[in-house]
Amino acid sequence: MDPILQECQELLEAQNIDSNSEIDFDVNGELHTLSYAYITDTFMQASEESKLVFLRALQKAIEAENMGVEKFFEGMGQLLLMTHLSEKFDN
């Protein structure tokens, strides 16, 4: 297992955050549901530098408490959806 992915999972487990938690996104009236695990796994397919940025941002979100992790995954999920939609329109 990728050590950065493992560290992300351990951070979530240490905070009793279920990686199967899901966030719903409404995109033009169409509902998309992404889990924390899916978002994390998708970002772990990026470059080593990007993976480290994701890890550091997750650490900061956990330190922020007060909905920091939920907001973090909302933002990362939105980024994934925007990337997917822009790739869809480019083809």
Name the one residue in this structure whose structure tokens are 């990026």: 46
Whole-number pLDDT of residue 28: 85
Residue 27: predicted pLDDT: 85
Quick count: other Cβ atoms within 10 Å of Cβ 65?
9
As for how many domains the chain has, the answer is 1
Question: Could you tell me the pTM of the whole model?
Answer: 0.89
**Count of other CB atoms within 10 angstroms of residue 15:** 11
Q: Which H or E run contains 17?
A: none
Instruction: Return the pLDDT at 7.
Output: 97
Question: What domain range is 67 assigned to?
Answer: 3-90
User: What does pLDDT average to in each consecutive run of 10 residues of the chain (91 residues)?
Assistant: 95 95 92 96 95 96 87 95 74 55
Structural contact between residues 51 and 43, judged by C-beta atoms closer than 8 angstroms: yes
